[in-house]
Structure 1
Amino acid sequence: MPVVNYTNNLRSDLVEFVASQNGTNDELHELCRTTFDAVLGQPGLEPTENCFVLEVSGEIKGMALVYSEAPISRSVIEVLTSPAPAGSPDEAALVRRAVSRAQGMGVAVAHVCVPPDSERGSLLESLGFSPARTYLDMLWSEDSLPELELPQGYSVRSFQPGDTPLLTQVQNAAFTGSWGFCPNTEEQIAYRASMPNTSKAGIVFLFRGDQPAGYCWTVMVPSENGPRGMIGMIGVTPEFRGQGLSRHILHAGMKHLRSVGLAEIGLEVDSNNDPGVRLYTSTGFKITGERHWFERVFPGT
């Protein structure tokens, strides 16, 4: 079978494969390479058990990562293949292997995100998956970012040493109960805040006095035009919702990305999130595509 379990001996080749699928120049290649290498080291991932590699004639042509989110009884399967095996029996074997591992985790459901222009949805449906959610890809590329004055009594600041408990608290408060969100541990947050695609300056908090009201976590990703800024996570804590604060924390995150020379800023938003879509559209973001989440519920859970 062309699908094998990941071993540390494959690390260098697998990292290079992932980078080759996304990095179109040296700068992007290095961003992809270092970021995915860090992904393999995430706390709790255990890639030797939860990563599968598709090899064809001795060359890596695909990989699947299975993330366990036991607190919400969910697994997330991430699949990447080169164009050649897309839709082939080899790709199907890779996905089946990942689904089998997800089911073995004892969770209730597995989710897979299908990016734009992919035919993987048909394969997933043949394996018992069904459409669950649609997320919109949105892009901002205006010439300038208008100034926006903070409400009286509010301030913004970036992540400082010792802020890991604060970031964990704010993120979990802002998103617990949202579709697909699994509460994070401080260990997970500390690790992700140190990954190559992010920076401490790009994690911005909104405060009223000394009380945290929300945050924006920005990252960098590869794109056709070079590194692109991304609004990775943005949220307002429950007690501060309904006051129009999302616009201010979004602006703070975008301002940081512009300050480091990133002309394009992207984000993903649940198409069911009407307030979010309105906010981003009114800020100048344009819809550029859709990502479809597929779901398989495991029997007996």
Structure 2
Amino acid sequence: MSKSEYVIRNYNESDFEAFSEAFKQDKRIESPVDRVKRPGISPENNLFIAENGKKMVGYALAEPELSINRIILHCWVQPDHRRKGVARELVNRVINRAEELNVQAVHVDISSNNSIARNELPKLGFKYVRRYLELFLAIEKIPDKDLEKARKECRQLQPGEEEKLSDIQNRAFADHWGYHPNTPETIAYDISLSHRSLQDIVVTCEENSIRGYCWTEIIDIAVESSKEKHGIIYMIGTEPEYRGEGLGKKVLLAGLSYLKSQGIKTVSLSVDSENRIAYELYRSMGFEERGSTLWYEKKLG
């Protein structure tokens, strides 16, 4: 990368409008704009911008998850500026930041179809560590009576229940690889985003306690020359002591029922390939594999 052609620098608060405009092409489910505003991110310290002639052309975010001793790397470069060393320099900035924070590892996830990243990451000291499977379902495969029964046994999350949701998430995923505990503030922020709402989160309760939940999301996907609405199962979990009682299937069916009521016909989700119990549940309900995401790790120190 020519130093005279590209400049890598820290993000400033005054960059927000230009940052939002420059990276709206990054079409991942959680936009970079939403991500940098999440509680605890501190973009002035953890976000790096690549510029070409004063124009933003790439970024890398070191998302700190200090309680589990890691940084998650998010990196994107505009297509016209790829294969010029920009991404490599941005990744190195994140690695340096991780070393400053004295964490044990940097993690990054990529599509299994991203052959360039699969080739370049090992050159920077990253090793493949985990695979997440992308599963797809046409809701019409599920009998309406099953959806209706689950819907009647569940309800939507209510205002003021962010702490309850945070608590059950943290208990449900405490032993899962790579899980970083949530806080009520993070949950409240995620729900406040323009494409999310309390109605998207379906819960099953015992008295006043949430025993299981299914967090859904609706996004636009490109289909030929138009866009269609598509459902995402963002996260699903149950109280550990209630596992084996069918709560996971019930809240999943209730989440699918909600998505169907919103006119959604197709749904996808991501599952750890080593979580065989969850994988078998999804497969038994008709979900099919459509791809995978690979996680890479660079150990530090």
The answer, yes or no, to whether TM exceeds 0.5 is yes
Identify the residue that residue 9 of structure 2 maps to in structure 1. Answer: 4
Aligned in 2, Cα 1:222/1:7: closer, same or farther, shift over 3 Å? farther
Distance 2:189 2:299 in 1: 30
Distance 2:49 2:290 in 1: 31
1:28-177 equivalence runs, <5 A: 36-118=32-114, 119-143=116-140, 145-146=142-143, 147-148=145-146, 155-177=153-175
Q: CA deviation at 1:142?
A: 4.0
Query: For structure 1, which segment, 50-59 or 177-186, has the greater mean C-alpha deviation from structure 2 after superposition?
Result: 50-59
Q: 1:251 aligns with which of 250, 253, 262?
A: 253
CA distances 1:58-88 after superposition (whole Å, capped 9, x unpaired): 3322211111111111111111222334443
1:13 to 2:9 alignment: no
Q: Are the aligned partners of 1:103 and 1:298 in contact in 2 as well (CA < 8 Å)? A: yes
1:22 to 2:20 alignment: no
Q: Are the aligned partners of 1:139 and 1:285 in contact in 2 as well (CA < 8 Å)? A: yes
Q: Are the aligned partners of 1:87 and 1:120 in contact in 2 as well (CA < 8 Å)? A: no
Query: For structure 1, which segment, 166-175 or 259-268, has the greater mean C-alpha deviation from structure 2 after superposition?
Result: 259-268
Q: CA deviation at 1:150?
A: 8.9
Identify the residue that residue 291 of structure 1 maps to in structure 2. Answer: 293
* Residue identity opposite 1:208 in structure 2: E
Q: CA deviation at 1:220?
A: 3.0
Distance 1:113 1:120 in 2: 10
Distance 1:19 1:138 in 2: 26
Q: CA deviation at 1:110?
A: 1.0
Structure 2: segments with no counterpart, 5+ residues: none
Aligned in 2, Cα 1:238/1:85: closer, same or farther, shift over 3 Å? same
Identify the residue that residue 186 of structure 2 maps to in structure 1. Answer: 188
Q: Are the aligned partners of 1:131 and 1:292 in contact in 2 as well (CA < 8 Å)? A: yes
Distance 1:100 1:227 in 2: 40
Structure 1: segments with no counterpart, 5+ residues: 24-30
Question: 4+ residue runs of structure 1 moved beyond 6 angstroms?
Answer: 149-152
Q: Are the aligned partners of 1:156 and 1:252 in contact in 2 as well (CA < 8 Å)? A: yes
Distance 1:298 1:210 in 2: 44
Distance 1:80 1:262 in 2: 29
Q: Are the aligned partners of 2:58 and 2:86 in contact in 1 as well (CA < 8 Å)? A: no
Aligned in 2, Cα 1:185/1:248: closer, same or farther, shift over 3 Å? same
Q: CA deviation at 1:160?
A: 0.6
* Residue identity opposite 1:192 in structure 2: D
Identify the residue that residue 265 of structure 2 maps to in structure 1. Answer: 263
Distance 1:252 1:151 in 2: 8
* Residue identity opposite 2:23 in structure 1: V
Identify the residue that residue 232 of structure 1 maps to in structure 2. Answer: 234
Provide TM-score, normalisation by structure 1: 0.88
Distance 1:258 1:150 in 2: 11
| Partner SS state of residue 162, structure 1 | coil
* Residue identity opposite 1:12 in structure 2: E
CA distances 1:124-176 after superposition (whole Å, capped 9, x unpaired): 11111100101111122243542327999x93111111101111111111111
CA RMSD of aligned residues (A): 2.3
| Partner SS state of residue 171, structure 1 | helix
Q: Are the aligned partners of 1:204 and 1:215 in contact in 2 as well (CA < 8 Å)? A: yes
* Residue identity opposite 1:236 in structure 2: T
Q: CA deviation at 1:39?
A: 2.5
1:191-230 equivalence runs, <5 A: 191-225=189-223, 226-230=228-232
Identify the residue that residue 274 of structure 1 maps to in structure 2. Answer: 276
State, as a whole percentage, how many aligned pairs show the same letter: 31
Q: CA deviation at 1:36?
A: 4.1
Aligned residues between the structures: 289
Distance 1:149 1:263 in 2: 13
Q: Are the aligned partners of 1:121 and 1:294 in contact in 2 as well (CA < 8 Å)? A: no
